[in-house]
Structure 1
Amino acid sequence: MILSERQARIEAQTAASHAVAEALKAKAAASSTEAMIAHLKLMIEKLRRELYGQRSERTARLIDQMELQLEELEAKATEDELSAEAAALQASLPAPAPRRRPSRKPFPEHLPRERVVIAAPSSCPCCGSMKLSKLGEDVTETLEVIPRQWKVIQTVREKFTCRACEAITQPPTPFHVTPHGFVGPNLLAMVLFEKFGQHQPLNRQSERYGREGIDLSVSTLADQVGAATAALAPLHDLIARHVMTAERLHADDTTVPILAKGKTDTGRIWAYVRDDRPFGGADPPAALYCASRDRRHEHPDAHLAAWSGILQADAYGGYNGLYDPARPGGRVVPALCWSHARRGFFELADIAASSRRGPGAAPVSPIAVEAVKRIDVLFAIEREINGLSADARLQVRQDRSRPPVEDLRAWLGEQRVRLSRSATVAKPIDYMLRRWDRFASFLDDGRVCLTNNAAERALRGFALGRKAWLFAGSSRGAECAAAIVTLIQTAKLNDVDPQAWLADVLARVAEHPIHRLDDLPPWNWCPPSTTAIAA
């Protein structure tokens, strides 16, 4: 009876794994078809422009949009294909048919070749005989880049046969992060950093490489980006877990246009930053990004479902569900940003900006000027105690910051009574007075920061990049960007060169033991020595 139950359980697990493998196989086929359709549409539009000329500026923009969409579809198809292969292997099923890819041209002859010969065995591993005779060799060419110097690395695997037992011996094929292994880790890291760290779309990178004599199409680059995203997923998950164990998080979001049928949706990139350095915390800083197609409150609720602690954010109402004391994951303590509050007064107190606007500009508000001066006193105190322990910061705030905060609240209340409902300066006053407890929370906890500038700085790259890449081609593309930017921004926060770190991680991640994954994050990473690089 026990044996039959165990057999039934094994059969059920096998059936489930087969169903998962078949579903992933179908998903990979659909992604491949979608990428092929986009590729054909792009080719048709380019042929039309060659035949009939450029009809309008809109046509040129349309082709640019189609190229950006294609690169994300190609990356998505590669990720799905790798997932289907892994599921098929786990379920002991035949691997799905490989996706059709553009035929790769041979590397240019003018590139220098560097032969890396894998050491051959000194004896036959089959019988131990020393009588080995070389049969030939297999050469694998990998395109690699040394800052602005291209070269092709030829990895030679010599093949030997044993004269005693006629067994053939050859070292195994070296690992490559991406399928078909013709892009080296340094080149792949450069492509990732240029796209997600320097805001250079793949079509611009492809054009630049072409001018240097290297033919790498947008489709090929997108294929590599998708494979790298899949390879780096365990490291991204490790950083996400590290961020979500913080006692305090900075949170903010910014707009990211996401391509939809005939339009673009105003999507969002959400940033969650862990940085304990202002109160002397020993844990390393890190940033986590998430993507969504809208700004509904369900997204931060889902991102922070299992987290509780101090949340530094603006007054966006979508966070209110996190502040509910009956929340299943534990109550989140709100702490608002004084920079947001100061900005409302500063815009009305900026004499230089008012003079530039001319006679029609609103007059400078003396109440706003006084409010800015009072708030700047708190910022000056914070600059003095930045980096001290939480207890030391709390003591200074109780002694020096609490009196001006209480005076500011009383003064704002007095000024608000004298103002009409339509007064311009009434809006920033009401913004603070209605949420005063959340603004004053820094007085009772030394871990709380006065501002949410850490999250705003983390989103600056997306704000700058929007002018270069215009939009994300799909929700999957936005999620891929969020994943890679998580790695890049975390490296920057830990004062690590993101490109050098990515190159080293991509070269090591597959053969690195999973139980030693903690060696790879930026805060534990040690740059490889010159000797190791040469080897």
Structure 2
Amino acid sequence: MIVALRSEALIRRLETEKLKFLIAKLRREQFGQSSERGRLLVEQLELAIADVEESQGAAEAEADIAAPATPVAGRQSRPARSRRPSLPEHLPVERIVYPAPCACAQCGGARLRKLDDVVSRSLECEPRRWKIVEHVREKMTCRDCEGVTETPAPSHPIPRGFAGPNLLASVLVSKFMLHQPLNRQSDAFAREGIAIDTSTLADRVGACAVALAPIVDAIRRHVLAADRIHGDDTTVPVLAKAKTDTGRLWTYVRDDRPFGGADPPAAAFHYSRSRSGEHPREHLASYRGILQADAYAGYNELYDGRRRPAPVIEAACWAHGRRKLFDIAKLTKAPIAVEAVRRIDEIFAVERTINGRS
């Protein structure tokens, strides 16, 4: 039984290594296929790896439980488990010291002296801790004029702010970064004894959007003040009535570091329910620099010489241009496509040597 369990664990480990190899291969070929299609395939493979590794861990644990306790010298060698992850150095350390034994485990003698410490380390996570913060402001009366004076109230991120900034940040990150709907967050809070209904959370998210609007506007102004920007869009699933719609997330990036620029990089995001060309025209209405993007026809009006205040200068994207040639070269081995990919790769190699220089 033990041999069978260990064999199963070994098979799972080999399956994991095969899937990791496929992921690495896909990432190396990221410019040779659609980025959206490749990203989805990588995500599916990573999910498969997680399932295999869970089965591997269960098989190894069952083998350890089933194995009899044998001396170290009599144990048979077995394949090593996956490498133990290193623990972060910046975390605080809680030290638990256990009482020393009072008698020798071999002969029962009581004449013991300390030889060394045996230290084992584990990573722990404390559950979320809720608390109420009371802001106490002393109110004073003046003995001379009988006037009343008090410390100004502390500012809150949003009006009527019963929720502190850390709670608001947690809700926003869970919704927009971790894709956790507000109703599920409300249910999770309820399981922890905190009743905050979905409508209240939605109200606070809307208020936070208004509070953060000046920062968003400042980032967008900074991005559009660049001489050159990169533009692209990607699909995002949108929850709709009885189904899931497909929306668009438009991204405009300012990054002058490859050209030796000192200005900080930034990305401006816009959301739309469709991929109509009116959206990039609206986003870049005041822009008059260089736009590096794919060959999407919705950008064409930006490049029109009659555009005001001035036409945007088109900079085609080598990565997008290489993609179709790579597909042809990979599938049909067409000599022209193979040669084109080779020459483009030479350009990429030269670019890597001058990256960051002005």
Answer whether TM exceeds 0.5 for this pair.
yes
Corresponding residue for residue 386 of structure 1:
355
Superposed displacement of residue 221, structure 1: 1.9
Query: How does 1:208-227 map onto structure 2 within 5 Å?
Result: 208-227=188-207
Corresponding residue for residue 466 of structure 1:
none
Higher deviation after alignment, 163-172 or 198-207: 163-172
TM-score, normalised on structure 2?
0.58
Could you say what secondary structure the match of 1:153 adopts? coil
2-side partners of 1:312 and 1:272: how far apart? 10
Query: How does 1:484-503 map onto structure 2 within 5 Å?
Result: none
2-side partners of 1:387 and 1:201: how far apart? 41
Superposed displacement of residue 251, structure 1: 0.8
2-side partners of 1:261 and 1:204: how far apart? 17
1-side partners of 2:225 and 2:306: how far apart? 21
Counterpart among 298, 301, 305 of residue 321 in structure 1? 301
Counterpart among 343, 353, 357 of residue 374 in structure 1? 343
Letter in 2 for 1:380: A
Q: How many equivalent pairs are there?
A: 233
- Per-residue CA distance 1:351-390 (angstroms, 9 max, x = gap): xxxxxxxxxxx6554544443222211111111111011x
Corresponding residue for residue 522 of structure 1:
none
Counterpart among 228, 232, 235 of residue 252 in structure 1? 232
Percent identity, aligned pairs only?
Answer: 62
Corresponding residue for residue 20 of structure 2:
none
Flag the 1:191–1:260 CA change in 2: closer, same or farther, 3 A.
Answer: closer
Q: Which runs of 5+ in 2 are unaligned?
A: 1-125
- Per-residue CA distance 1:171-202 (angstroms, 9 max, x = gap): 33322122322211122122222322333332
TM-score, normalised on structure 1?
0.40
2-side partners of 1:348 and 1:208: how far apart? 50
The structure with the largest helix share of the pair is 1
Higher RCO (CA 8 Å, separation ≥ 6 residues): 1
2-side partners of 1:210 and 1:174: how far apart? 28
Could you say what secondary structure the match of 2:138 adopts? strand
Corresponding residue for residue 304 of structure 1:
284
Superposed displacement of residue 349, structure 1: 3.9
Flag the 1:259–1:205 CA change in 2: closer, same or farther, 3 A.
Answer: closer
Q: Which runs of 5+ in 1 are unaligned?
A: 1-145, 351-361, 390-535
Superposed displacement of residue 216, structure 1: 2.8
Query: How does 1:157-196 map onto structure 2 within 5 Å?
Result: 157-162=137-142, 165-196=145-176
- Per-residue CA distance 1:401-446 (angstroms, 9 max, x = gap): xxxxxxxxxxxxxxxxxxxxxxxxxxxxxxxxxxxxxxxxxxxxxx
Flag the 1:200–1:272 CA change in 2: closer, same or farther, 3 A.
Answer: same
Q: Answer with 1 or 2: which has the greater Rg.
A: 2
2-side partners of 1:201 and 1:262: how far apart? 16
1-side partners of 2:266 and 2:169: how far apart? 20
Superposed displacement of residue 246, structure 1: 0.9
Superposed displacement of residue 151, structure 1: 2.0
1-side partners of 2:269 and 2:202: how far apart? 21
Corresponding residue for residue 314 of structure 2:
334
2-side partners of 1:169 and 1:178: how far apart? 25
- Per-residue CA distance 1:80-116 (angstroms, 9 max, x = gap): xxxxxxxxxxxxxxxxxxxxxxxxxxxxxxxxxxxxx
2-side partners of 1:370 and 1:222: how far apart? 55
Could you say what secondary structure the match of 1:241 adopts? helix
Superposed displacement of residue 262, structure 1: 6.6
Corresponding residue for residue 150 of structure 1:
130
- Per-residue CA distance 1:232-267 (angstroms, 9 max, x = gap): 111211111111111101111122355667766543
2:275 is equivalent to residue 295 of structure 1: yes
1-side partners of 2:245 and 2:184: how far apart? 24
2-side partners of 1:147 and 1:174: how far apart? 28
Corresponding residue for residue 247 of structure 2:
267
2-side partners of 1:276 and 1:312: how far apart? 13
Corresponding residue for residue 186 of structure 2:
206
Superposed displacement of residue 280, structure 1: 0.7
2-side partners of 1:363 and 1:247: how far apart? 40
Superposed displacement of residue 274, structure 1: 0.9
1-side partners of 2:282 and 2:288: how far apart? 13
1-side partners of 2:168 and 2:243: how far apart? 32
Could you say what secondary structure the match of 1:242 adopts? helix
Could you say what secondary structure the match of 2:132 adopts? strand
Corresponding residue for residue 210 of structure 2:
230
Could you say what secondary structure the match of 2:287 adopts? coil
2-side partners of 1:378 and 1:328: how far apart? 34
Letter in 2 for 1:386: N
